[in-house]
C-alpha cells in the first residue's frame, strides 16, 4: 500500500539533460529545455520536442533553458520542467498524484541560495521528501566505487554547465573544485571559432552537432572521425556556405577551455593528502558526464597528470545511476545528503 501512495524517483538535474530514474530504470532522459506560450505562460513542450523548437520559434513561443552553469537560472521554468518530466514517469497509471520522495543531484560548488532554489523547485513540483546529493559523490557511487572505504577515489564529472572534480574517501569529499567550464563552453567555443575562422553563423544546436560528430581534445587521434559538413549563412553576405570541419580544428578551438579544466585538476591533486594520492595513482582517475565522451580527453589528462585515466561505463548516466542507488539506500547514505 505504501508503495502505491508513494513514488520514489532519482533526478540528475543537469544543465544540458535531465535524467529521472524510477524503479532502477531510466524513465526520462530529455534535454533540460522548455517551450512556453508567451500569451498564457503555459507549457507548450519539454525535452526533445522543445529542443527541436529551439532557435525556430515565432513571437508567441519562447524556449528557455532553466539551468545555467549547473544552477537554476529561471525558477518558474525549472518548476514547469520538473512537473512535466515527473508527469512522464506517471504515464496514465494512477487515478491520483502519489506523494513523491526524491533524491536530486546538485553541483558540489553550489551556494546555500542555489541549494535552496533546487529544493524549493523540487518541493513545488510535488516532492514531499527531498534529499540532495553532490554530483561527484553520486558519480562515484554510479561508477561502482565503495565510497565508504578508507581509500581515495578521484572522479571528474564534466557536465553541461559545470566540471566537478573531487577526491572521495570514507563517505565524504576530501577536496574538490567545481568550475563553470564544461559542455556549454565547448559549444560556445565552436560557435565563435566558426564565426571567426570560416565567417559562417551557426546556432548552438549546430555547434552541438559539430561537437558530437568531430569533437576532440587532441589534434592527432589514432582513429579520426570523418569531416563534418556544416551549412549556414555567410556573416557578411548572408549567402549560403557549406564547409567541411575536421576534428583537429575543433581540438584547436577547444584547447583553452580544456586547459582550464586541466589546471583545476592539478589544483585538486595538489590539495590531495599523500596517502590518498597514492590510492589515486594506483586506481586511476575516472571521467563521467557527457564531456567524458570527447575524443582523446582521457589521453590528454593522462599525459598532463601521469596518472591512468579511464572513461566510466555509460558516462552520461553515471550521476543518475549513483543518485538512484542513493535513493534505494537513503538510510545507509543519509550522511551524504543534505
| Burial (CB count <10 Å: 0-12, 13-18, 19+), residue 244 | exposed
Which residues lie closer than 8 Å to 25 by C-beta, 6 or more apart?
none
Q: Kindly give the pairing relationship between strand 6-13 and strand 99-106.
A: parallel
Question: Span 31-41, mean pLDDT?
Answer: 90
Cell numbers 537560472 correspond to what residue? 73
All three cell numbers of 318:
553515471
Domains with residue ranges and CATH for the chain = 2-138+319-336 (3.30.420.40)
Rounded CA-CA distance 9/211 in Å is 31
Rounded CA-CA distance 52/317 in Å is 22
Cell numbers 572534480 correspond to what residue? 165
| Burial (CB count <10 Å: 0-12, 13-18, 19+), residue 223 | exposed
pLDDT at 1: 45
Rounded CA-CA distance 157/153 in Å is 13
pLDDT at 2: 46
pLDDT confidence band for 92 (50 / 70 / 90): low
CB distance 36 to 61 below 8 Å: yes
Q: Kindly give the pairing relationship between strand 309-311 and strand 285-288.
A: parallel
Rounded CA-CA distance 171/148 in Å is 4
What integer best gives the mean pLDDT of the chain?
Answer: 89
Helices and strands: H and E segment counts in the chain: 11, 17
All three cell numbers of 121:
523547485
pLDDT at 57: 85
Question: Span 246-260, mean pLDDT?
Answer: 95
Residue range 292-329, pLDDT digits in tens: 999 999 999 999 999 999 999 889 999 999 999 998 88
CB distance 337 to 326 below 8 Å: yes
pTM: 0.90
Residue range 96-113, pLDDT digits in tens: 567 788 899 998 888 899
Residue 135 clears pLDDT 60, i.e. is over it: yes
How many residues are given for the chain?
338
CB distance 6 to 28 below 8 Å: no
All three cell numbers of 323:
543518485
Question: Span 113-128, mean pLDDT?
Answer: 88
3-state secondary structure of 125: coil
Give 62's Cβ-side CA count (13 Å radius): 9
pLDDT confidence band for 7 (50 / 70 / 90): confident
Rounded CA-CA distance 219/277 in Å is 30
pLDDT confidence band for 204 (50 / 70 / 90): confident
User: Of all residues in the chain, what percent carry a pLDDT higher than 70?
Assistant: 95
Amino acid at each position: 500500500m505504501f508503495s502505491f501512495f508513494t513514488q520514489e524517483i532519482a533526478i540528475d538535474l543537469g544543465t544540458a539533460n535531465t535524467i529521472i530514474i524510477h524503479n532502477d530504470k531510466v524513465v526520462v532522459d530529455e534535454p533540460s529545455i522548455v517551450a512556453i506560450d508567451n500569451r498564457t505562460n503555459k507549457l507548450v513542450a519539454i525535452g526533445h520536442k522543445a529542443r527541436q523548437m529551439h532557435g525556430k520559434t515565432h513571437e508567441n513561443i519562447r524556449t528557455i533553458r532553466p539551468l545555467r552553469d549547473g544552477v537554476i537560472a529561471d525558477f518558474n521554468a525549472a518548476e514547469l520542467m520538473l512537473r512535466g518530466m515527473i508527469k512522464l514517469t506517471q504515464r496514465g497509471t494512477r487515478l491520483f498524484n502519489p506523494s513523491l520522495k526524491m533524491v536530486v543531484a546538485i553541483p558540489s560548488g553550489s551556494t546555500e541560495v542555489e541549494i535552496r532554489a533546487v529544493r524549493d523547485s523540487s518541493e513545488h513540483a510535488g516532492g514531499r521528501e527531498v534529499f540532495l546529493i553532490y554530483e561527484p559523490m553520486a558519480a562515484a557511487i554510479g561508477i561502482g566505487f565503495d565510497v565508504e572505504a578508507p581509500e581515495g577515489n578521484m572522479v571528474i564529472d564534466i557536465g553541461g554547465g559545470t566540471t566537478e572534480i573531487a577526491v572521495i574517501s570514507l563517505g565524504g569529499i576530501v577536496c574538490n573544485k567545481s568550475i563553470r567550464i564544461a559542455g556549454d563552453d565547448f559549444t560556445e567555443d565552436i560557435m565563435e571559432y566558426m564565426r571567426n575562422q570560416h565567417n559562417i553563423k551557426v546556432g548552438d544546436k549546430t555547434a552541438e552537432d559539430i561537437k558530437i560528430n568531430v569533437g576532440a581534445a587532441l589534434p592527432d587521434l589514432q582513429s579520426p572521425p570523418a569531416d563534418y559538413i556544416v551549412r549556414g549563412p555567410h556573416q557578411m553576405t548572408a549567402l549560403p556556405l557549406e564547409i567541411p570541419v575536421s576534428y583537429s580544428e575543433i581540438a584547436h578551438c577547444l584547447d583553452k577551455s580544456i586547459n582550464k579544466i586541466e589546471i583545476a585538476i592539478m589544483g585538486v591533486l595538489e590539495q590531495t593528502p599523500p596517502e590518498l594520492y597514492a590510492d589515486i595513482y594506483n586506481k586511476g582517475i575516472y571521467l563521467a558526464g557527457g564531456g567524458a565522451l570527447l575524443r582523446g580527453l582521457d589521453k590528454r589528462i593522462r599525459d598532463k597528470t601521469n596518472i591512468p585515466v579511464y572513461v566510466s561505463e555509460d558516462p552520461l548516466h553515471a550521476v543518475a545511476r549513483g543518485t538512484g542507488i542513493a535513493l534505494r539506500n537513503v538510510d545507509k547514505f543519509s550522511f551524504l545528503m543534505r
